[in-house]
């Protein structure tokens, strides 16, 4: 008897491994276009491309900052650490960052497969749920958007917590409970969206773990398909015991809810009650709940941003969605004994949506595809187990349902592949959003910036002007229009846009910073200093503003304060090239050539392709009586920028870094690091 049992276990393990490999392959294939994708200009600069702390890699300073900051309105230290680790491994190669997110997503699919296989013992339904989760087009956004690393990372720890909970539920013990709490805490430190995990565990208690029955006392022999008039005392006692068991987890959720709310409130991201009154938010929540179901069934016209269409958020237009939700809830409740997975899956969907449904409005989006990353699992479970229960009823069912499941997975994989291609860069992401949505002011604004970066200033200004036409109260659109005008040399128009930003939002730091830059371009150093000081007053630890202010102070002859500002910027961001560069320039202006050499060497070490820093370093070396070393940097700068006259003239003076027959090192030689 033992031999067949071992054989069955071996076959089961083999099936699990082969299924896991298949799951990995189809997921990787569906998302493979992301490996050639770039960063985008929405949030990615804040998280990675303009975040010098993160770009410095994982250091003790970064760890200290990550665990103490609510930068950008959230507390998620593990997310910051993951981005920093990517920068340490891949630098600013976007493909490496995308690869990390994809690998975490694959791990999530495998964990989901393992979770449902463990708690239900059903291999193929568990595989199908995991595969649908892995390749559903709605989930492309969470994986493709590098800034949404927090989505996939927090879900990774959520699934580990649920797996640990399944083990605890079968064999309760302090160690197993602490493992659940630890994984849950790690998930919260990646993104607080998983605060409803304790409720998901209660749903697992109901189905499939069988620790809870909502109504009817099956323990007294009632048939599973029957119903009773009310809850038995024993059932109520068991429910309260299971709730009390999770009190420490609920407490963790409450702590992170508070931290997130106050951080977002301080950032100004919590929607204005004037713009988004509670009644409107409630109606939009109902529309979104039904809308996500429609997109799960027919995943088309997906975009990175869906604007709030206030005229559509009315009671009359919301009634069909509300009716659908009521009908679904009623149906699942009536099936709670015969089809417990239906109620469990439906409540999982509703429960996981609660933190992001928009009742507590954060941001100006009406909905977001990424919000379905965890919530959709409930619907997938309900539909899959319902189909599995039908497949055994007839020969036709045993053929049609597996074939249909295969066709569905292939279709979803193809649609996910196509959707991933729209995430190639900022232009493709926001160009696609403009095509598939209406009145998308944010997409027009950011498409304008993407076109500006590619040199299409006509397209850029057209899209930015369309954005301010659609949303004249959207300050970011005016700021982006100001950026385009600045690029075009239309300084007066640019300045007017930034003043419009400040009229809408007097606390906009970027508007003050850009006004300072325009004042510099116009030769108004006094005005530039005033604007930078206002910006720095609101963001006293912003290294970029410090450098701008230090640069202007140096030009105005206020060297001591200029040096203090620039030095503070290098302390805050040791890898900030411009801080070291301007500090070296200030040293040279004062004739401190040794200090200038030291600071400019640091600038070049941080960015070996900084031509200006290499030329200034060469000049400092030349003044210090080191013509050979100076020539090497002149030569390196010239090879990086062949048309640079200063580099060419410096090479002529110094011999290009050659002496006594020595050959200069070139771009990758000693002089370029």
**pLDDT tens for each residue of 241-252:** 999 999 999 999
Name the token pair of 627. Answer: 């013509």
In this prediction, residues 308-316 reach a mean pLDDT of 81
Please give the distance of CA 411 from its chain centroid, rounded to a whole number.
26
Name the token pair of 328. Answer: 């679904």
In this prediction, residues 299-305 reach a mean pLDDT of 96
**639 HSE (CA, 13 A, CB side):** 18
pLDDT at 436 exceeding the cut of 70: yes
Q: What is the per-residue pLDDT for 6? A: 54
pLDDT interval class at 72 (50, 70, 90):
confident
In this prediction, residues 441-469 reach a mean pLDDT of 96
Angle of the 543-555 helix axis to the 559-572 helix axis, nearest 10: 160
Q: What is the per-residue pLDDT for 667? A: 29
Poorest-confidence range of 96-105, 312-321, 429-438, 456-465?
312-321
How far is Cα 441 from Cα 71, in angstroms, rounded to an integer? 26
In this prediction, residues 568-579 reach a mean pLDDT of 92
Phi-psi region of 395 (alpha: psi -120 to 50; beta: other; left: phi over 0): alpha
List the end-to-end C-alpha distance of the chain, in Å, as a whole number: 70
> 365 forms bridges with which residues in the sheet?
307
**Which one has a higher pLDDT value, 342 or 663?**
342
Tell me the pLDDT tens digit for each residue of 518-542. 999 999 999 999 999 999 999 998 9
pLDDT at 567 exceeding the cut of 90: yes
How far is Cα 629 from Cα 619, in angstroms, rounded to an integer? 10
Q: Give the DSSP H/E element, type plus range, for residue 307.
A: strand 306-307
Q: What is the per-residue pLDDT for 272? A: 44
pLDDT interval class at 32 (50, 70, 90):
very high
Q: Residue 38: which residues within 8 A CB-CB, separation 6 or more?
A: 94, 424, 425, 426
Q: What is the per-residue pLDDT for 396? A: 61
Domain ranges in the chain are 2-216+232-421, 574-673
Q: What is the per-residue pLDDT for 9? A: 59
CATH 1.25.40.10 is held by the domain 574-673: yes
If one counts every other C-beta atom within 10 angstroms of the C-beta of residue 109, the result is 24
Q: What is the per-residue pLDDT for 393? A: 63
Percentage of the chain lying above the pLDDT 70 cut: 89
Residue 367 three-state SS: strand
Q: What is the per-residue pLDDT for 657? A: 63
If one counts every other C-beta atom within 10 angstroms of the C-beta of residue 321, the result is 19
Q: Tell me the pLDDT of the chain averaged across its residues.
A: 89
pLDDT at 220 exceeding the cut of 60: no
pLDDT at 462 exceeding the cut of 80: yes
Q: What is the per-residue pLDDT for 361? A: 64
**7 HSE (CA, 13 A, CB side):** 4
Percentage of the chain lying above the pLDDT 90 cut: 77
**How are beta strands 365-367 and 306-307 bridged, if at all?**
antiparallel
Q: What is the per-residue pLDDT for 218? A: 45
Query: Which phi and psi (to 5°) does residue 366 adopt?
Result: -85, -30
In this prediction, residues 264-285 reach a mean pLDDT of 66
In this prediction, residues 303-315 reach a mean pLDDT of 85
Tell me the pLDDT tens digit for each residue of 335-393. 999 999 999 999 999 999 999 987 776 667 889 999 999 999 999 999 999 999 887 66
Q: Residue 341: which residues within 8 A CB-CB, separation 6 or more?
A: 207, 208, 381, 382, 385, 386
Q: Residue 668: which residues within 8 A CB-CB, separation 6 or more?
A: none
pLDDT interval class at 224 (50, 70, 90):
very low
pLDDT at 670 exceeding the cut of 50: no
How far is Cα 148 from Cα 372, in angstroms, rounded to an integer? 13
pLDDT at 274 exceeding the cut of 70: no
Name the token pair of 617. Answer: 């370093």
Name the token pair of 519. Answer: 């004042």
How far is Cα 480 from Cα 460, in angstroms, rounded to an integer? 9
Poorest-confidence range of 135-144, 201-210, 311-320?
311-320
> 500 forms bridges with which residues in the sheet?
none
Tell me if 152 sits within 8 A of 104, measured CB to CB: yes
In this prediction, residues 67-83 reach a mean pLDDT of 91
Tell me if 78 sits within 8 A of 190, measured CB to CB: yes
Tell me if 74 sits within 8 A of 83, measured CB to CB: no
pLDDT at 230 exceeding the cut of 70: no
pTM over 0.85? The answer is: yes
**28 HSE (CA, 13 A, CB side):** 11
How far CA 319 is from CA of 284, 298, 304, in Å, comes to: 11, 21, 27
In this prediction, residues 79-107 reach a mean pLDDT of 97
In this prediction, residues 439-447 reach a mean pLDDT of 96
Rg (CA), the chain: 29
Q: What is the per-residue pLDDT for 231? A: 57
Q: What is the per-residue pLDDT for 655? A: 81
């Amino acid at each position: 008897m033992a031999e067949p049992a071992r054989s069955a276990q071996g076959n089961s393990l083999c099936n699990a491994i082969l299924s896991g490999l298949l799951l990995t392959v189809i997921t990787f294939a569906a998302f493979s276009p992301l490996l050639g994708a770039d960063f985008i200009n929405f949030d990615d600069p804040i998280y990675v491309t303009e975040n010098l702390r993160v770009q410095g890699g994982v250091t003790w300073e970064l760890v200290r900052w990550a665990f103490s900051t609510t930068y950008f309105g959230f507390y998620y230290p593990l997310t910051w650490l993951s981005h920093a680790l990517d920068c340490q491994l891949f630098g600013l190669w976007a493909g490496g960052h995308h690869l990390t997110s994809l690998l975490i997503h694959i791990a999530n699919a495998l964990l989901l497969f393992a979770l449902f296989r463990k708690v239900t013992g059903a291999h193929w339904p568990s595989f199908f749920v995991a595969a649908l989760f892995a390749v559903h087009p709605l989930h492309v956004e969470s994986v493709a958007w590098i800034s949404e690393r927090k989505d996939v990372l927090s879900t990774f720890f959520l699934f580990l917590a649920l797996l640990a909970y399944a083990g605890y539920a079968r064999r309760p013990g302090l160690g197993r409970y602490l493992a659940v709490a630890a994984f849950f805490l790690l998930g919260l430190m990646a993104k607080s969206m998983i605060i409803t995990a304790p409720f998901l565990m209660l749903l697992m208690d109901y189905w499939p773990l069988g620790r809870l029955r909502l109504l009817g006392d099956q323990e007294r022999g009632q048939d599973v398909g029957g119903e009773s008039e009310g809850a038995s005392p024993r059932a109520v006692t068991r429910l309260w015991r299971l709730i009390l068991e999770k009190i420490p987890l609920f407490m963790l959720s409450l702590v992170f809810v508070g931290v997130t709310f106050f951080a977002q409130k301080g950032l100004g991201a919590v929607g204005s009650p004037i713009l988004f009154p509670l009644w409107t938010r409630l109606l939009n929540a109902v529309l979104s709940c039904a809308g996500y179901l429609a997109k799960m069934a027919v995943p088309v016209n997906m975009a990175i941003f869906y604007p709030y269409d206030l005229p559509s958020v009315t009671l009359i237009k919301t009634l069909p969605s509300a009716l659908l939700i009521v009908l679904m809830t009623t149906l699942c409740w009536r099936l709670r004994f015969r089809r417990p997975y239906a109620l469990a899956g439906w409540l999982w969907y509703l429960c996981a949506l609660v933190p992001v449904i928009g009742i507590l409005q954060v941001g100006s989006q009406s909905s977001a595809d990424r919000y379905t990353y965890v919530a959709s699992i409930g619907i997938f479970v309900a539909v899959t187990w319902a189909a599995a229960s039908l497949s055994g009823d007839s020969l036709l069912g045993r053929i049609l349902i597996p074939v249909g499941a295969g066709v569905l997975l292939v279709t979803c994989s193809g649609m996910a592949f196509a959707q991933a291609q729209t995430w190639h860069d900022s232009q493709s992401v926001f160009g696609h959003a403009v095509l598939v949505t209406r009145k998308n002011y944010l997409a027009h604004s950011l498409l304008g910036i993407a076109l500006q970066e590619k040199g299409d200033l006509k397209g850029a200004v057209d899209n930015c002007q369309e954005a301010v036409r659609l949303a004249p109260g959207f300050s970011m659109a005016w700021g982006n229009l100001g950026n385009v005008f600045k690029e075009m040399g239309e300084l007066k128009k640019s300045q007017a846009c930034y003043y419009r930003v400040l009229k809408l939002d007097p606390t906009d730091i970027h508007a003050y910073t850009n006004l300072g830059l325009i004042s510099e371009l116009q030769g108004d150093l006094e005005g530039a200093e005033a604007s930078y000081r206002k910006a720095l007053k609101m963001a006293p630890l912003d290294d970029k503003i410090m450098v701008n202010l230090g640069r202007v102070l140096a030009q105005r002859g206020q060297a001591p304060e200029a040096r203090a500002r620039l030095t503070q910027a290098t302390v805050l961001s040791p890898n900030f090239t411009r801080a070291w560069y301007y500090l070296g320039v200030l040293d040279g202006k004062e004739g401190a050539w040794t200090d200038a050499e030291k600071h400019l060497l640091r600038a070049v070490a941080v960015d070996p392709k900084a031509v200006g820093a290499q030329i200034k370093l060469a000049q400092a070396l030349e003044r210090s009586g080191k013509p050979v070393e100076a020539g090497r940097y002149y030569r390196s700068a010239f090879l990086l920028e062949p048309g640079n006259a200063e580099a060419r003239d410096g090479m002529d003076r110094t011999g290009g870094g050659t002496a006594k027959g020595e050959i200069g090192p070139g771009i990758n030689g000693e002089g370029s690091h």
